[in-house]
Amino acid sequence: MRAYVVPTPDSQPVLTTLPIPKPAKGEILVNIAACGLNFADLLMVKGTYQDTPQTPFTLGMEVAGTVDSVGEGVSGFAPGDRVAVFGGQGGLADMGCFDANRAVKIPDSMSFTDAAAFQIAYGTSHVALDYRARLQPGETLLVLGAAGGVGLTAVEIGKLMGATVIACARSADKLDAARAAGADHLIDAKTQDIRAEVKALGGADVVYDPVGGEQFEAAFRACKPDARLLPIGFASGDVPQIKSNHLLVKNLSVLGVYWGGYLTFKPHVLTDSLATLMDWHSAGRIKPHVSNVFTLEEADKGLEMLRSRKSTGKVVITIQDL
C-alpha cells in the first residue's frame, strides 16, 4: 500500500510503499478514503509536536473510510462500516490500523471528505467553547486565526451558541470566509489594532486563540473583567508568557485546550461532544468548510497550503474512491 512517511526527525516526508498491516487486539483496519490535514502535522514533521511518534511514521491524524476487518475483542464495528477516526498518525495511506475506541460511525449523509475534516476542528472548538469556557448566549467571543481549520469552526459554533462573534484574520478573503461562517464583526490583523477594535466593541468575554504571539497579547488586553482565554495552539511560532498579576487584577482565567488529551483521562468529554456535533451536522446546522482537496501524490502541496497560511478552513487529502 502507499504511505506518506516521515523517515527521520525533521526530514521531508516521502511517498513510499509499505506492507498492509493486520489489526491487533482492539484495533480496526480501515480502507482510507480521505485524511484531513492539521497544523500539528507540520509540527510532527519538525518533531516539535507534543505527541510526535518515533520515526519512521506515517503522517495524518484524522481519517475517514470503511472498516476492512476487526481485531480480537472489537465489538460495535464490522467490515463495511463507514467510520471517522482520530488516530493521531497513519492517515496518509491506503489503509491503516487504529484503536477502535478512537473510531466513530458516520451517517450516510456525511461525505468522507467532510468526515475527514470534522473531528479535530469541530471537536476542539466545541470542547473549548462549551466544556471549558462555558460560553453563554449574549457573551462576546473573539476568535483569532478565524479563517483557519479550527478558527472557522469556532466562529460557526460560537454563533450557534448565541454569542456575538468577533473574527480576526489576516486578509479580506479570509475575513469573507469568517463572515460567511457567522461572524458579526471583522478585524484585519494586518492593518487594524486588535486591542483597540475589540475594546471599541465592548471587549471580549471569551478569547479563542490558535495563533499566540502578539495577537494573544492584544486580545489579553482587550478582555472584559472575568473573561476566559483559550490557548488552542501557537501558529505564529511564539508562545506568549502570561503575567499572573494581570490575571489577578481583571479576574481572568486561562484555560488550556488540548482536544486529544481527553482521550487518556476523560474520553466521555470527546464522545459526548462528537455526538452533539454529529446531530448538528445531520440537522444541517454545521457544514465543514474545505478550501482545498489534493490527492495522496499531492500531499506536499496540502502541507504547503498550511505552512504558507493560504488555506481557509480545512485541507483534505483524498486517498481512494470508496
Same domain for 164 and 254, yes or no, is yes
Percentage of the chain lying above the pLDDT 90 cut: 86
Confidence of residue 111 (pLDDT cuts 50, 70, 90): very high
Please check whether residue 193 lies inside any domain of the structure: yes
Q: Which residues contact 149 (CB under 8 A, 6 or more apart)?
A: 36, 37, 38, 39, 117, 120, 121, 311, 313, 314, 315
Same domain, residue pair 42 and 97? yes
All three cell numbers of 191, joined, read 492593518
183-205, pLDDT tens digit by residue? 999 999 999 999 999 999 999 99
Mark 213-239 as b/e (b = at least 16 C-beta within 10 Å).
Answer: bebbbbbbebbbeebbbbbbbbbbeee
Q: Is the predicted pLDDT of residue 309 greater than 90, yes or no?
A: no
Structure confidence at residue 306 (pLDDT): 92
Within a domain: 274: no
Q: Which three cell numbers stand for residue 289?
A: 468548510
- Tally the domains of the chain: 2
Distance CA 85, CA 71 (A): 16
User: Could you tell me the CATH number of the domain that includes residue 141?
Assistant: 3.40.50.720
- Which pLDDT belongs to residue 66? 98
Per-residue pLDDT tens digits for 257-275: 999 899 889 989 998 999 8
125 plus 253 within the same structural domain? yes
Could you read off the pLDDT of 115-125 as tens digits, one per residue? Answer: 999 999 999 99
Question: 254 — phi, psi (to 5°)?
Answer: -110, 120
Does pLDDT of 310 surpass 90?
no
* pLDDT (0 to 100) of residue 322: 80
Q: What's the CA angle centered on 4, arms 97 and 274, to 5 degrees?
A: 50
- Mean of the per-residue pLDDT values for the chain? 95
Instruction: Measure the CA–CA gap between 106 and 281, rounded to whole angstroms.
Output: 10
Task: Provide mean pLDDT across the span 274-280.
Answer: 91
